[in-house]
Amino acid sequence: MKVLKFGGTSVGTPQRMKDVARLITEDAQPKMVVLSAMSGTTNTLVEISDYLYKKNPEGANNVINRLEQKYLGHVDELYSSDEWRQRTTDFLKEEFDYLRSFAKVLFTSFEEKVILAQGELISTNMFTNYLLEQGVDAVLLPALDMIRTDKNAEPDLAYIGKQAEAMLTANPDKQLYITQGFICRNAYGEIDNLQRGGSDYTACLLGAALNAEEIQIWTDIDGMHNNDPRIVEGTEPVRQLHFEEAAELAYFGAKILHPTCIQPAKFAGVPVRLLNTMEPDAPGTIINNHLHRGTIKAVAAKDNIICIGIQSSRMLLAHGFLRKVFEIFETYHTSIDMICTSEVGVSVTVDSRKNLDRITDELRKYGTVTVEDNMCIVCVVGDLAGENVGFETLATDALRNIPVRMISYGGSAHNISFLVNGDDKQRTLQALQQILFTYDGHVRRPS
Number of residues that bind ligand ADP (CB under 6 A): 18
- Rounded distance between C-alpha atoms, residue 377 and residue 375, angstroms: 7
- Rounded distance between C-alpha atoms, residue 281 and residue 222, angstroms: 10
Residue 247 binds ligand ADP, judged by CB under 6 A: no
Residue 198 binds ligand ASP, judged by CB under 6 A: yes
Give one word for 269, left, alpha or beta, with left for phi > 0 and alpha for psi -120 to 50. left
The site partner of 414 among Mg ion, ligand ASP, ligand ADP, none (C-beta below 5 to 8 Å per kind) is none
* Contacts to Mg ion by CB under 5 A: 7, 197
Indicate which single residue of 88, 125, 180, 199 sits in contact with ligand ASP (rule: CB under 6 A).
199
Site string for ligand ASP, 165-184 (x = CB under 6 A): ----------------xx--
Residue 259 binds ligand ASP, judged by CB under 6 A: no
Residue 158 has phi, psi (to 5 degrees) of -65, -45
Residue 197 binds ligand ASP, judged by CB under 6 A: yes
Residue 284 binds ligand ADP, judged by CB under 6 A: no
Residue 9 binds ligand ADP, judged by CB under 6 A: yes
Window contacting ligand ASP (CB under 6 A); options: 11-19, 165-173, 197-205, 310-318? 197-205
Indicate which single residue of 14, 119, 155, 197 sits in contact with ligand ADP (rule: CB under 6 A).
197
Window contacting ligand ADP (CB under 6 A); options: 84-92, 106-114, 184-192, 249-257? 249-257
The site partner of 229 among ligand ASP, Mg ion, ligand ADP, none (C-beta below 5 to 8 Å per kind) is ligand ADP
Residue 254 binds ligand ADP, judged by CB under 6 A: yes
Window contacting ligand ADP (CB under 6 A); options: 42-50, 88-96, 250-258, 414-422? 250-258
Q: Cβ contacts of residue 271 below 8 Å, gap of 6+?
A: 214, 215, 265, 286, 287, 288
Least CB distance from residue 80 to ligand ADP, whole Å?
27
- Of residues 216 through 235, those in contact with ligand ADP by CB under 6 A are 219-221, 224-225, 228-230
The site partner of 35 among Mg ion, ligand ADP, ligand ASP, none (C-beta below 5 to 8 Å per kind) is none
Window contacting ligand ASP (CB under 6 A); options: 35-43, 219-227, 306-314, 315-323? 35-43
Q: Cβ contacts of residue 70 below 8 Å, gap of 6+?
A: none
For ligand ADP, the closer of residues 133 and 200 by Cβ is 200
For Mg ion, the closer of residues 219 and 347 by Cβ is 219
For ligand ASP, the closer of residues 123 and 415 by Cβ is 123
Residue 255 binds ligand ADP, judged by CB under 6 A: yes
Amino acid (1-letter code) at residue 438: T
Least CB distance from residue 258 to ligand ADP, whole Å?
8
- Of residues 301 through 340, those in contact with ligand ASP by CB under 6 A are none
Indicate which single residue of 4, 11, 17, 37 sits in contact with ligand ASP (rule: CB under 6 A).
37
- Rounded distance between C-alpha atoms, residue 116 and residue 122, angstroms: 11
Q: Which of 322, 329, 425 is nearest to 376 (CA)?
A: 425
- Rounded distance between C-alpha atoms, residue 34 and residue 1, angstroms: 13
Q: Are 299 and 381 in contact (CB under 8 A)?
A: yes
Residue 125 binds ligand ASP, judged by CB under 6 A: no
For ligand ADP, the closer of residues 316 and 398 by Cβ is 398
Residue 207 binds ligand ASP, judged by CB under 6 A: no
Q: Which residue is nearest to Mg ion (CB)?
A: 197
- Of residues 28 through 47, those in contact with ligand ADP by CB under 6 A are 36
Residue 428 binds ligand ADP, judged by CB under 6 A: no
Least CB distance from residue 7 to Mg ion, whole Å?
5
Number of residues that bind ligand ASP (CB under 6 A): 12
Binding residues for ligand ADP (CB under 6 A): 7-10, 36, 197, 219-221, 224-225, 228-230, 254-256, 300
For binding to ligand ASP (CB under 6 A), which residues are involved?
A: 7-8, 36-37, 42, 119, 181-182, 196-199
